[in-house]
Amino acid sequence: MAEYPREITERFHGTPEQTATALIGEPPGRWQTVVIEDHDPSWADRYTAARDGIRQALGDRILSIDHVGSTSVPGLAAKPIIDIDLLLSGTGDESAYVPDLERAGYRLLLREPWWHGHRMLISAAEDVHLHVWPPGAPEPIRHRLLRDWLRTHPSDRDLYAVTKRRLAADPDGYTLSKNDVIDQILARAFAATPVTSPDGGLGVRGDHREERAHHPLAG
């Protein structure tokens, strides 16, 4: 069985200097606390509504769009924030997509060109995190692999939920602290999932063509 490339299996670590310059404007008020809720089936509908608005704003510029993060996993407790991975042909030219997304109600919050060109925009209600990546970025592959594994492995889904509830009392350390269990779960997924194509066997497809197509996910 072929192995996943290191850029997929190994977590990216930005330098403190890079992290310090990433934030644009004021951080969301929701970042002050961590509230973990039982899974809400309406989260799927919220994703669909957000996806449709993004499609209307960007049209054929979208290469792929996916619901990722904890709210995309039925039965998984999560922060009620919808994470979306959006692939565009290039993220460096923000003038080609940020103004249109701003008119759709988003604002640019994070600029991290060193992290595979990542940008993150946030909805006006601060309840959607829109992660923008160029084609070939490894992080969306990790996100989809984790999502699909948790959807089909209840024991790891429950382990992740218990871990998040335990860590929720520390908003400042929550994101970094849960990385350890994410890496443990992903290690099992990497070992069990065969690599069948250069991007890790998952393709770059999202649901833009109905299956064509640090700051971990919020949940």
pLDDT in tens, the chain (219 residues): 468 888 899 888 888 888 889 999 988 888 888 899 999 999 999 999 999 999 999 999 999 999 999 999 999 999 999 999 999 998 999 999 999 999 999 999 999 999 999 999 999 999 999 999 999 999 999 999 999 999 999 999 999 999 999 998 877 777 777 889 999 999 999 999 776 554 544 443 444 333 333 455 667
Total tally of structural domains belonging to the chain? 1
- Please state, in angstroms and rounded to a whole number, the distance separating the CA atoms of residues 139 and 32: 25
Q: Concatenated DSSP letters for 87-147?
A: EES-SS-GGGTHHHHHHTTEEEEEEETTTTTEEEEEETTS-EEEEEE-TT-HHHHHHHHHH
- 162 inside domain: yes
The CATH number linked to 53 is 3.30.460.10
- 218 inside domain: no
Range of the domain at 109: 13-192
- 87 inside domain: yes
- 199 inside domain: no
- 4 inside domain: no
* Torsion angle, alpha carbons of 216, 109, 111, 93, to 10: 120
- 6 inside domain: no
- 3 inside domain: no
Q: What percent of the chain has pLDDT over 70?
A: 88
Q: Residue 11: which H helix or E strand, with range?
A: none
Q: Concatenated DSSP letters for 48-83?
A: HHHHHHHHHHHGGGEEEEEEESGGGSTT--B-S-EE
